[in-house]
Amino acid sequence: MSDADRQPEGAAVVTRGSVKTQAGPRRPVGEADPVDKPGTGSLHKGGKPNVFSMRGTKEWREWLTRFATHHRMTPTTLVDYALTQAARRAGFEEPPPRA
C-alpha cells in the first residue's frame, strides 16, 4: 500500500459514482467547522473577513438595494449605518470600530 492509498486515522472514504474522495476526521456533534469560527470567513476587498451574511427573498434584496440607493449608499453601508443608529438609540455609547 502506498502513502497515497493510506487514510488518516478517523477518516472516511466517500464514494461518489466511480470516484472515491476522502473526508477529513470527524468532529464531535456541535463543534463548528473551521469556516464557522469567528474571523475565519472569506476575505473581501482589503482582506477583511466576512462578518455575517443574511438570507432573504429576491424581493427583500431588491427592496434593500432600492432603499440603500435612495440614501446613496451600498446595502452594506446602509446596514452598518442602521446598526450604529440602533446602538445609539438603545443607549450603547461605545462607537463601533470602523468597518
Q: 74 falls in which pLDDT band (50, 70, 90)?
A: very high
In the chain, the amino acid numbered 22 is Q
CA dist 35 → 31, 42, 85 (Å) = 11, 8, 30
Tens digits of residue pLDDT in 76-91: 999 999 998 999 999 9
Tens digits of residue pLDDT in 15-64: 555 555 555 556 566 555 555 455 555 555 667 788 889 999 999 999 99
Q: How far is CA 28 from the centre of its chain?
A: 21
Q: What nine digits make up the cell of 52?
A: 455575517
In the chain, where the domains are located:
10-89
pLDDT greater than 90 at residue 65 = yes
Flag whether the pTM goes above 0.75.
Answer: no
41 near 33, Cβ under 8 Å?
A: no
